A and B are shown apart, each in its own frame.
Chain A
């Protein structure tokens, strides 16, 4: 099954030119052991289960799904904040799954992360200058022209006033704080940025400012992004390729056009139809999913989505579908994929 999924993931990228992927993830799995009660039986939360994808240089990949689908856990494994239970992460041709020590520090210069909560991710007792200079300091890098100059350059890049160097995070609004977090992530000139819900804590009018900034940085610096978000409209705006996750598994991967216009997996379809659409008043024709996401401790048999799927048949609860290519070019894990356009 692993092999099949692997080849399928490979075929999904045929739309992009055949070049070495910057990041390659194969069979990535994360299990968290839990214990119910003091002497209770130990069980396992299957947060991420056999996930495969690739990110090419200069590409933005969106990871979407509901809370608890494993998208944040995946992101954290990519920057090696969490140790994978199984699987392999290859970055720039090097296996980084279990890199340690000085080599890991070196690696983190190339992979940076932007966190969701701009209030919790900046040290309130450090000045902005110190926060943004920290990655340089930790790695013992003295850029030409000095640290201060580089930091001020970075502040300017993200649209902040370089004179804010000596201010503290509490003097900034949410959107400005997120810009500080972005400046910090850019300090080491990374090749890949994992952005974990970078705009979901911001007000609507500020969200657009930050999304535009990220798009501009991507264009100007040729960065690759893994963009984790639950807001499908924001993802559509930022990402060329999108991977949809459900209960720790990848259910569909495709280009923006494939995912948003011809989604093959019923879950992708349901997610899209649940997004409140300003252009359609009154909200009719929604696909209503019943109930909640099942527990990842005891996931359903067969296709994990069959408990909420309106197309589920006997086969779905017996046999787990693998990621297979669809006529439209995307790959999805479904026994009965949808065809046709979204209305």
Chain B
């Protein structure tokens, strides 16, 4: 298999807080080697939001966990570079990682009920997260800080709420408490892994707005991992679309949503029902299912599901496409088709279906 460190994607952004270069995460299993992430390069600046989009099994969560150094080194092979504030964390010792976790990088998980400890009061859990990185702080200081944070994320009566258990919180409140815990040490980078998937739309709108407010206040870099293109279009500055462990398209949110170039991105956009346009038109789904990461299709791993595979002779089936510039600066796409062909196909087949309308 060819590796993809294309010049365009590997460009170094000196201002970036997080820089991931050619990251590969592999899990050896009895059935074979799982290539969960296979050559991902991206960077995020402070105050910016990167949306990582993909289906289950596309490697988006594995990527985020490796940024926190959460993979067991005995069972995982990680290569490439993850530089956080100038420090490369690939191969870093657990002790050093612990100093980084929570302080420089924090994570907001999808399911706050399983991420919060059911036996401890919410305030105590947030205070603990603070004390880990502020050993000299007294218990009282930590508690005050926890109550402040609960107040900051919009929980009414924070003093009383801090003394309650997670089960006494509603879903939206729990997610707010999770955010308070993630932000208690003013991390420069926040990774939000499907933070609103378990929530209702009205609560989702509240949480997304809260994240935006907090980002403006703390100038943190945010990585928003989601399968919901709607959420990405609301909060992201840049977007990375992943498929089967590889990046297939990167660019600004405007480029990806308005002028997408990869057939997989087209598929995602044309298959999502919209609130506008003709409701009686059938959606255009992506045929088939995502591939197994143990036994990826040869060539472009999207080729069995791509309507346009085989346009350039055999290349789709034999050669892994690399991320290459796609016309505008900052917009890269991994597809064998020429720019002109893609432009034509998008206008003909895609632009009228689903949310692509």
Smallest Cβ-Cβ distance to A276: which chain B residue: B230
**Chain A 26-68: CB-based contact to B (< 8 A → 1; otherwise 0):** 0000000000000000000000000000000000000000110
Complex CA distance for A237 and B231, rounded to whole angstroms: 19
**16 extra interface residue pairs, beta carbon distance < 8 Å, beyond A207-B272, A231-B273, A278-B272:** A66-B201, A203-B227, A212-B282, A215-B282, A236-B274, A271-B201, A277-B275, A278-B355, A279-B355, A281-B257, A283-B233, A283-B235, A288-B209, A292-B172, A292-B203, A293-B200
Complex CA distance for A205 and B285, rounded to whole angstroms: 6
Given known pairs A237-B279, A275-B230, A283-B233, the reply for A208 and B285 (CB within 8 Å) is yes
Q: Is the CB of B205 within 8 A of A274?
A: yes
Complex CA distance for A256 and B279, rounded to whole angstroms: 9
Q: Is the CB of A274 within 8 A of B273?
A: no
Interface magnitude class on chain B: 35 or more
Task: Choose, from B63-71, B263-271, B329-337, the stretch at the interface.
Answer: B263-271
Is B286's beta carbon under 8 Å from chain A? Answer: yes
Smallest Cβ-Cβ distance to B172: which chain A residue: A292
Query: Which B residues touch A66, using CB under 8 A?
Result: 200-203
Interface magnitude class on chain A: 35 or more
Contact surface of B with A, Cβ cutoff 8 Å: 55-56, 156, 170-173, 200-206, 208-209, 227-231, 233-235, 253-254, 257, 267-276, 279, 282-287, 289-290, 354-355, 357
Complex CA distance for A277 and B205, rounded to whole angstroms: 11
> Which of B227, B233, B283, B289 touches A281 (beta carbons < 8 Å)?
B233
Given known pairs A203-B290, A205-B55, A209-B285, the reply for A281 and B205 (CB within 8 Å) is no
Q: Is the CB of A208 within 8 A of B274?
A: no
A63, chain B: closest CB distance, angstroms: 15
Is A170's beta carbon under 8 Å from chain B? Answer: no
Query: Which A residues touch B286, using CB under 8 A?
Result: 205, 208
Q: Is the CB of A279 within 8 A of B274?
A: yes
Complex CA distance for A278 and B282, rounded to whole angstroms: 18
Query: Which B residues touch A231, using CB under 8 A?
Result: 273
Query: Which A residues touch B208, using CB under 8 A?
Result: 276, 283
Query: Which B residues touch A175, using CB under 8 A?
Result: 289
Query: Which A residues touch B268, using CB under 8 A?
Result: 204-205
Query: Which B residues touch A280, using CB under 8 A?
Result: 233
Contact surface of A with B, Cβ cutoff 8 Å: 66-67, 173, 175-176, 203-209, 211-212, 215, 230-234, 236-237, 256, 260, 270-283, 286, 288-289, 291-293
A61, chain B: closest CB distance, angstroms: 15
Given known pairs A67-B200, A274-B205, A276-B231, the reply for A237 and B273 (CB within 8 Å) is yes
Smallest Cβ-Cβ distance to B196: which chain A residue: A276
Complex CA distance for A225 and B254, rounded to whole angstroms: 38
Complex CA distance for A276 and B228, rounded to whole angstroms: 9
Q: Is the CB of A275 within 8 A of B227?
A: no
Query: Which B residues touch A274, using CB under 8 A?
Result: 201-202, 204-205
Complex CA distance for A282 and B254, rounded to whole angstroms: 10
Complex CA distance for A90 and B64, rounded to whole angstroms: 52
Q: Is the CB of B170 within 8 A of A292?
A: yes
Q: Is the CB of A236 within 8 A of B273?
A: yes
> Which of B234, B253, B273 touches A211 (beta carbons < 8 Å)?
B273
Q: Is the CB of A236 within 8 A of B203?
A: no
Query: Which A residues touch B279, using CB under 8 A?
Result: 236-237, 256, 260
A215, chain B: closest CB distance, angstroms: 7
Query: Which B residues touch A176, using CB under 8 A?
Result: 289
Residue from A256, A271, A275 having most chain B Cβ neighbours under 10 A: A275
A40, chain B: closest CB distance, angstroms: 16
Query: Which A residues touch B284, using CB under 8 A?
Result: 208
Residue from A173, A205, A274 having most chain B Cβ neighbours under 10 A: A205
Complex CA distance for A193 and B284, rounded to whole angstroms: 24
Query: Which A residues touch B289, using CB under 8 A?
Result: 173, 175-176, 206
> Which of A209, A215, A232, A260 touches B201 (beta carbons < 8 Å)?
A232
Smallest Cβ-Cβ distance to B228: which chain A residue: A276
B357, chain A: closest CB distance, angstroms: 7
Residue from A67, A204, A282, A293 having most chain B Cβ neighbours under 10 A: A204
Q: Is the CB of B285 within 8 A of A234?
A: no
Q: Is the CB of B254 within 8 A of A232?
A: no
Complex CA distance for A183 and B201, rounded to whole angstroms: 31
Q: Is the CB of B201 within 8 A of A230?
A: yes
Query: Which A residues touch B274, using CB under 8 A?
Result: 233, 236, 277-279
